[in-house]
Amino acid sequence: MKQLVVTFIAFLAVSTSANAQGGGVDTEIIGTGTRKIDPAYRMALSPHVIDTTIPMAVVEYPLLPLKYQTDAEVNQISPVSIRTVDKLAKLYNTYVKLGVGTDFATGGIMPLGEVYFDATRSRKFLYGAHLKHLSNWGDFTGLQNSTFDRTKFDLYGGINERRYTLRGNFHYNNQGLHYYGISDTIALGSDSLNQRFNDTGFDFSYASHKKDSATLNFGVGILYNNFNGMKPERENFSDWRARENAFDVKSNAWYKLGREIYALDFNVRWNGYKYGVLDSTYTNPLDTGFVQNNTIVNLKPTITTQFMDDRFKAKVGMDIVFDAREKTRAHIYPIAEVKYSMLNDLFIPYVGLRGGLTQTTYKSLTRENEFLRSNVELRNEHKAIDFYGGIKGTLSKRISFNLGASFANVKDLAMFVTDTTFSLGNKFGVIYDTANVATLEGSISYQIKEKIKTDAIVRYTSYNLVNNSYAWNRPNLEVILRGSYNLFDKFLFNLDLNLEQGRRALVYAPGEGVTEENGQYIQSLGFLADANLGVEYRYNPRISAFVQTNNLASQRYNRWYNYPVQSFQVLGGVTFRF
């Protein structure tokens, strides 16, 4: 073994020397020796991969049996009032109210009579009648023939079916009055101051109300009305009074498809107004007879939709109107309204745009001012555009409110002025003007079942006219307060309060309290305050007694120029049900 090692070392020395000297000599050394080799054996294990990941021990967390104390609070809900009765309360067909009163300024007698007749409970038939009379037979101090009487009669009926309804109505009104707005220093007979209006008419309507959503529903109605003034005493002048006939046909149809309702209205309104004999004169050369025919045809398509769980509602459309009065004119008015319900109808903001043509009739003018002369010009009120908006809602189950504002451009706005051409200043004529009308209005109501009911309305209106300084005989500020109180279902109290400010009249000469503006003489009619209080005592469900007091402040304010109202009045009487 040692010999082999020496021989190998010598070999390395010689090789290294030869390479260092740059020679190319190969040397081969052959030797003998002994080499020990370990004996071979077979491994008992198979080869496998050794993973370096060390497994983590699984730790278990058992659920601890702990009990946590919790508190639950239940809000109290008011129980619903349910009145259980063995049978429904008895209804009576007839209600009669009879009374008599006096006006302390005139000492005149004021009889009152009123009768209602209605059907009792019926699912199918509806019918009834109403008759009322009220008059005053006493003259104001300093004013002659200030008495009046009013009688009205209504008869109505209807049929309610599952798929349609049918309605009918007939009315007759008779009103007598005097043009008392003149001093008694002027000697005039009562006959020359008399006026009596007769109003007779009827209307019928039919409407279908099928429940299927994909069904066309429709309605149609007709109306006729005759209105005229008092005939002159002289038989040969019997035509010299106001006579008016009106005939309307109204129809509409609507179709619901999904969330949309498609509707179409088609209406025709005709009004014929006559005074005297055409192209002839009465006692005054300026008092000539005339005939005015007025026809309005309108077609109004609309679409109404709602979404977001019916909280958002919108309506769009247009009103196409043909006005055939003196010559035919066409108008197109927009229809757009959007409203959104917030917090379950707590607040509902709304905004809209609209317009329209209102037919002016002699009847509609006398309803507003009954001291109108018989020969007036009629012009339809053309509201070119009316933008409105506001918010309404319910603050609680007892309180509701509405706040709104509107701005409109109105052409041919009717205003009442004292007439000196055909009368002694004790009648009113009508003039027309174009105006921008801005209105702010707020209302609130409060009710506790049938025990307390109150509401208040405040309205302010501003008129900006083209040819006149003010909107004559129209108020700027109006306040209306109403309330009723039921005490133990035995005593019923009611209170009404009306306040007005801003009425002005056009006069034609300077005088006390008269101002001049833009070449016009203006008389302020002052502040108007009218309070009425009534109380009723129910002896039993069928018999009661009442006392009604009017104009508690006994204020002789002028609602119209030279026309003071009655002062403090008291009415008393009884009521019956059977």
Cα of 327 vs its chain's centroid, Å: 33
Q: Which residue has the tokens 């040969």?
A: 236
Q: Which residue has the higher pLDDT, 7 or 160?
A: 160
**What is the pLDDT at residue 22?**
46
- Grade residue 20 by pLDDT with cuts at 50, 70 and 90: very low
The Cα–Cα gap between 389 and 410 comes to 18
Q: Which residue has the higher pLDDT, 37 or 450?
A: 450
Q: How is residue 189 annotated by DSSP? A: -
The Cα–Cα gap between 347 and 447 comes to 18
**What is the pLDDT at residue 158?**
95
Using alpha carbons, list the distances in angstroms from residue 15 to 7, 10, 21, 23, 26: 12, 9, 10, 10, 8
Q: What are phi and psi of 481, to 5 degrees?
A: -120, 130
Residue 21 token pair? 């000297």
pLDDT tens digit sequence for 138-162: 766 556 677 889 999 999 999 999 8
Q: Residue 4: pLDDT above 80?
A: no
**What is the pLDDT at residue 426?**
87
**What is the pLDDT at residue 449?**
85
Terminal CA-CA length for the chain? 152
**What is the pLDDT at residue 476?**
94
* Secondary structure (H, E, C), 197-266: EEEEEEEEEEEECCCCCCCEEEEEEEEEEEEECCCCCCHHHCCCCEEEEEEEEEEEEEEEECCEEEEEEE
Q: Residue 212: pLDDT above 90?
A: no
**What is the pLDDT at residue 554?**
83
Q: Which residue has the higher pLDDT, 499 or 121?
A: 499
Work out the average pLDDT over 250-262.
92
Note whether 165 and 207 are within 8 A (CB): yes
- Grade residue 2 by pLDDT with cuts at 50, 70 and 90: very low
**Residue 2 belongs to what H/E stretch?**
helix 2-20
The Cα–Cα gap between 286 and 422 comes to 8
Q: Which residue has the tokens 């709602």?
A: 306
- Grade residue 464 by pLDDT with cuts at 50, 70 and 90: very high
Q: Residue 12: pLDDT above 90?
A: no
**What is the pLDDT at residue 500?**
93
pLDDT tens digit sequence for 501-560: 999 999 988 888 889 988 899 999 988 899 999 999 999 989 999 999 998 888 888 889
**What is the pLDDT at residue 13?**
47
Closest by Cα among 90, 177, 166, 98 to 131: 98
The Cα–Cα gap between 472 and 414 comes to 9
Note whether 563 and 180 are within 8 A (CB): yes
The Cα–Cα gap between 96 and 130 comes to 10
Q: Which residue has the higher pLDDT, 3 or 457?
A: 457
Q: ∠ CA 188-194-198 to the nearest 5 degrees?
A: 170
- Edge-to-edge strand list for the sheet holding 504-507: 504-507, 520-524, 514-517
- Grade residue 261 by pLDDT with cuts at 50, 70 and 90: very high
pLDDT tens digit sequence for 387-412: 999 999 998 889 999 999 999 999 99
Counting residues of the chain whose pLDDT is more than 70, the rounded percentage is 81
pLDDT tens digit sequence for 479-494: 999 999 999 989 999 9
pLDDT tens digit sequence for 175-187: 999 898 886 656 6
Q: Residue 238: pLDDT above 70?
A: yes
- Grade residue 16 by pLDDT with cuts at 50, 70 and 90: very low
Q: Which region among 53-57, 289-293, 340-344 has the lowest average model confidence (pLDDT)?
A: 53-57
**What is the pLDDT at residue 210?**
85
Note whether 429 and 415 are within 8 A (CB): no
**What is the pLDDT at residue 181?**
85
Mapped onto helix, strand or coil, the DSSP state of residue 555 is: coil
Q: Is 309 left (phi over 0), alpha (psi -120 to 50) or beta?
A: left
Q: ∠ CA 257-255-210 to the nearest 5 degrees?
A: 105
- Grade residue 108 by pLDDT with cuts at 50, 70 and 90: confident
Chain-wide mean pLDDT for the chain?
A: 86
Q: How is residue 94 annotated by DSSP? A: E
Q: Residue 362: pLDDT above 70?
A: yes
* Secondary structure (H, E, C), 101-116: EEECCCCCEEEEEEEE
Note whether 303 and 315 are within 8 A (CB): yes
pTM score of the predicted model: 0.80
Mapped onto helix, strand or coil, the DSSP state of residue 312 is: strand
Using alpha carbons, list the distances in angstroms from residue 537 to 100, 101, 407, 551: 17, 18, 46, 21
**What is the pLDDT at residue 549?**
93
The Cα–Cα gap between 151 and 149 comes to 7
